[in-house]
Amino acid sequence: MSTMDRISGFVSKVTSRLSLKQFVDINEQPLFRMPNYMFRLRYWLGALVAAAFLWEVATGLFLLLSYYPSNPYNQTQYLISKIPFGAPILYSHLYGAYFMIFLAYIHLFRNYFDGAYKKPRQLLWVVGIVLFALTLGTAFTGYSLPADILGVDADGVAQGIVAGAPGGSIINTILFGNGVSLDMYTRLLGWHIILTAIIGGFLVLHFMLFEQYGVMPFQEG
């Protein structure tokens, strides 16, 4: 038995235990001609959201190298004016986030009005809703990081809203720290990274469920 056969056998055993064989077995994924309706834009909205997310991760990693929570506003200005390609990468990260949120809205409402949340796709729909909420949370923390007037005002509004909820002071401390600027922006950066990582995990689950349930709505042939 060749090495490739051993590897293939091992992968088959593992994936069969996880009921995920259809996701990784090449033999289960033959090349075939796509139905004509698959070329409609609405069938690719989820893929466009995922592509926007990957762009956000790539540009965000570059920006992370030049961000210091101890001096967020001045460091952002330095990134724009002094670091090569800093400005286009920063602004493409910003508008890429807008693009991702806009596409997520369209994708969400398209699936709702097409009834894509109905049985047996309920779990796929729930994961999508969670992803949308995580996307908004990640966008908020990223929006606050430059510490400009809009970001500072957004933080103040958010803290006021949270303070009115039960246990608001504790939640504010967890999300925004002890009120010191360094602590707040360190926490915002940490939450931004954590939420991005969680989105990545849920996105993988979302695509796995999508493959399991099928590409096309059941009523279409």
What integer is the mean pLDDT of 8-34?
A: 53
What are the extents of the domains in the chain?
1-32, 35-213
Give the amino acid at 100: M
Q: Smallest Cα–Cα separation from 120: which of 42, 193, 218?
A: 218
pTM: 0.80
Asked whether the predicted pLDDT for residue 27 surpasses 80, the reply is no
Indicate the class that CATH gives domain 35-213.
Answer: mainly alpha
Whether residue 185 contacts residue 69, with contact meaning beta carbons closer than 8 Å, is answered with yes
Residue 80's CB is within 10 A of a number of other CB atoms, namely 15
The tokens of 132 are what? Answer: 């949308």
What integer is the mean pLDDT of 154-170?
A: 93
What integer is the mean pLDDT of 188-202?
A: 97
pLDDT at 38: 67
Tell me the pLDDT of the chain averaged across its residues: 85
pLDDT at 97: 97
Whether residue 57 contacts residue 200, with contact meaning beta carbons closer than 8 Å, is answered with yes
Q: Which residue has the higher pLDDT, 189 or 216?
A: 189
Number of helices (H) and strands (E) in the chain: give both, helices first.
Answer: 9, 0
pLDDT at 116: 83
The tokens of 145 are what? Answer: 């990081």
pLDDT at 35: 61
pLDDT at 36: 65
Peptide bond into 72 cis (omega under 30): no
d(CA 16, CA 47): 27
pLDDT bin (cut points 50, 70, 90) of residue 104 is very high
Q: Smallest Cα–Cα separation from 139: which of 148, 127, 131?
A: 131
State the DSSP string of 57-113: HHHHHHHHTT--TTSHHHHHHHHHHTSTTHHHHHHHHHHHHHHHHHHHHHHHHHHHH
What integer is the mean pLDDT of 167-188?
A: 93
pLDDT tens string 45-58: 999 999 999 999 99
CA atoms within 13 Å, Cβ hemisphere of 201 = 8
d(CA 153, CA 96): 22
Asked whether the predicted pLDDT for residue 112 surpasses 60, the reply is yes
Q: Phi-psi category of 103—alpha, beta or left, where left has phi over 0 and alpha has psi -120 to 50?
A: alpha
Asked whether the predicted pLDDT for residue 107 surpasses 90, the reply is yes
pLDDT at 118: 84
User: What percent of the chain has pLDDT above 70?
Assistant: 79
pLDDT at 43: 80
pLDDT at 42: 76
C-alpha angle 25/27/30, rounded to 5°? 115
